[in-house]
Each structure stands twice: as structure tokens, then as C-alpha cells.
Amino acid sequence: MKLQSSRAARLSTAVLPLLLSACAGLHSEAAESIPLVVSTWPFGKIANDIAIADLIEGRPRLDAVEAGIREIERQSCDGSVGLGGRPNAAGYAQLDACIMDGPGARAGSVAAVEGIVHPITAARRVMENTKHVMLTGEGARWFALSQGLESVPVEDLEAKKRAWRDNGNGAEGKREGHDTIALLVLDGDRHVAGGCSTSGAGGKLPGRVGDSPILGSGLYVDEAVGAAGATGRGENVMRHCGTFLIVELMRSGLHPRAACEEAIHRIASKDPLGYRLDICFIAIDKQGRFGAAASNQRFPFAVTTAGRSEIRYVEPVRQR
């Protein structure tokens, strides 16, 4: 592979060998036609199909992101997203979500919000209708209600909280999984956007916030480069700013798949868990290329264009 000297000069000695060695195995993740939608897990295909239809019909990219994720929230797919997702240790759901647009680096986020049917919509309203980026807990619920968003009663939650406290519980409950819908879009004009939504880790302590609503952790979008999303054990993503790292690796010249893999290697090299991190990443770049990587499992992710919609798999990264 021949690189122009000006470009090669910008690549660090650490990144350039990775770029060269990765190219041979990336033919299956070559540039796709646009618009392009990539998301986490097999249920992401449901969201992708809705998002791509919106993009083909000329709707704005943020509408496509929101519409796709709203459907996963509505269905509470895999018991991981929306009010039907896994409850916390006190027995009720607290939801996290964020949305980010490439142009202008606009973003909105809600965390530990209760009783709001579509936290992705609440996150978008934070972005568009406030001067803030993140709202949490009771304040996030109050704001969502002030915006007329769909909700369910939460009067019974106080009794659940009180019972949990009265029983002397100060620890997490039994963990029952932790999946997330992270969805990335490259529209027909090559603008990028993304969103993320989850009910978080099952049995989490009330008030726990994972990586999903944290920009640079569960999601990061850079209009000049591309976007990345995460799923898995949130603490193991947010302690290392995983998606921000991936976008910066793509900025240095790495293919999205190579960037996802390198992020896992770097995190594993300094984390006590090593490759037992239980984290997965997806990424897209401005060229229409995409990729994914997982630390210690076979990871399915959904890829959709105007011409096809499918679920792909990546094997766990090879330890080094």
C-alpha cells in the first residue's frame, strides 16, 4: 500500500503499522453506498430498516436516528432498552439515552430518567430546546413532561425505593444482562449522526449511569471523521472514553474496523480485566466504510443501505 508522503507524515509510528497490516482483511467492510446505517445487535436491524426508509424518503438524519431507536424503545427489544428493559436493584427501570449530530457537534442526553417512554426523544429535546447537553433523574423527567413526551405513572416507584432501602439493601441485585441500541447514520450528503438508548445493566444500583448517555463513551460523532457507538459493560467503556478513542484513531487513518479493534487492544492493555472487558464497538467513517469489534464474544451488528439490510458478525479480537 502506497501512502502519500504528506499523509504518512501525519501518522504516528504506532498507527501506521496497524493501518498497513489491517488493510488486507478489510475487503468485506469496504466503502458502502450511502445512505448507510449501522447499529448494535440483531434487533438493530429493526431500527436500521426504519432509519434507512426515512433517509431514502429525504427526511433529516436526526429524524431517522430518533425514529429507529424509538421503535427499539417501544418494543423493549431483548429486555435491554425502554421501560420494558431490565429493572435496577430496587425493581424499576431507569433509562439512559443520547443523540449527537455531526454538523455543529450538537448533542443531548438524559440519564437515570424514570417513566419516560422514549428517552431518545427526550435527549433530542435537550439538544434542541435547552442550552444544556445532559439532564438527569427527576429533572430529566420533569423536562420531558414539560415537552409533552409520552410517559407512564411513577407513583408506585417511591414504594419500591422505600422497600429497597428499608430492607437494608445497599448492593447491586442479580445481574441479568446489559445490551444497548447504538445507531450510526451517514446520510446522502455524507453528514454523520448517531444515537444510543438503554435500560442499563440489570440489577444496577438506583441512580447508576452507564456509558450510553455519556458522549465519548457510549457514542461519539465527529463531522470531519465519522462516528462510533458502544455496547456491553458500560463502566469498561466510560473509564477509557472508548468511542472518542475510536474516532481519533479513524482520524489518524485507520479503517473503522481496525480502529474498533485497536481501541479494545489499548483498553485491555491497561485494564485489570484484560480482554474480559465485555465490550463491543461499531464505527462508520465519512467514506462510507464501517466496522465492529468485540473484546470477548462473537458480536452481531446490523448494516443497512438502500439496497440491502443484514446482520453481520465479528469474532473476538485476537489477543496480543
DSSP state, residue 223? T
Q: Could you give the CA distance from residue 200 to residue 171 in angstroms, rounded to a whole number?
A: 16
CA distance 54 to 59: 5
Residue 171's CB is within 10 A of a number of other CB atoms, namely: 8
Other beta carbons within 10 angstroms of residue 212's beta carbon come to 32
Q: Which residues pair with 39 in a beta bridge?
A: 183, 302
The verdict on whether 180 is a catalytic residue reads yes
Whether the Cβ atoms of residue 172 and residue 204 lie closer than 8 Å to each other: yes
Helices (H) and strands (E) in the chain, counts: 10, 12
Closest Cα to residue 69, out of 92, 93, 90, 49? 49
Question: Of the listed 40, 121, 180, 305, which one is catalytic?
Answer: 180
Q: Count CB atoms within 10 A of the CB of residue 122.
A: 27
**Residue 216, Cβ neighbours under 10 Å: how many?**
22
What is the DSSP pairing of strand 95-101 with strand 106-113?
antiparallel
Q: What are the residue numbers of the active site?
A: 180
